[in-house]
Amino acid sequence: MIKRLKNIKWQYALGELLLIFLGITLAMGFNNWNEGQKQKRLERKTLIEIRNGIEVDLQDIRSNVSGFKKRTKAGKMLYVHLKEQLSLSDSLKFYLPYLKGTTQFINNTTPYETLKSRGFELIRNDSLRLAIMHYYDVSQDWIKIVEAEHVSHYQEYVKPFILNYFSPESLLPNDYASMMKNKSLIPMLHWSYSNSSYMLELYEDIEKEANNLTQRIDTELLRW
């Protein structure tokens, strides 16, 4: 009788332990699932923030693409006119005002800095994570480096040239004949429009990259 009671107590204790184990396992499983859901929601929130940030970037990128198209056209036309000693044409007059000015890439890095603070591993799609990192850490940084050189050249050479030879009101030449005689302007203008052309290529490339990245983020979000 005593032995039977001991067996019942042992079976009861074993059952209690099994229930406790199952309870802990289920609780841990639910907690892990809950944390996983939180991470997914945070990943989705982060991707939406990055996408919205890139859309803001694209507004500035498109504006700069338009500006560099006109600056490149103006610089090349003036370079050809001076090199080949061509008379001042109406088409050149139309584009000359676009020689003035530079750009400054105004990019929105806040969402990317937020991703850094949350951890890159938050983005589970490896190729998408790498694409996001390339856009911010490579493409944007390179544009800023080249753009700084472009601005420096403009301040040192192009701006003094404009102030010396052009009317500040109309940005048309004060004395086109004397400009044509100054052969030192030709290499400066060649470098200027070549650099503007390179900047245009960079901005067109990052525009394509940004558009592609927003599409990839949209595709990733639709999978959930």
Angle at 178 between CA 175 and CA 182, to 5 degrees: 135
Kindly give, in sequence order, each residue whose CB lies less than 8 Å from that of residue 135, ignoring residues fewer than 6 positions away. 54, 206, 209, 210, 213
Q: How many residues does the chain have?
A: 224
User: Does the pTM exceed 0.85?
Assistant: no
pLDDT band at 29 (very low <50, low <70, confident <90, very high): low
> Which run of H or E residues covers position 115?
helix 110-118
| pLDDT tens-digit series, residues 162-183 | 999 998 888 889 989 999 999 9
- How far is residue 85's CA from residue 47's CA, in Å, rounded to a whole number? 55
Q: What is the pLDDT of residues 49-108, one digit of tens each?
A: 999 999 999 999 999 999 999 999 999 999 999 999 999 999 999 999 999 888 889 999
Instruction: Find the largest Cα–Cα distance for the chain.
Output: 125
In the chain, what is the straight-line distance between the N-terminal and C-terminal CA atoms, in Å? 62
Q: Where do the domains of the chain lie?
A: 41-222
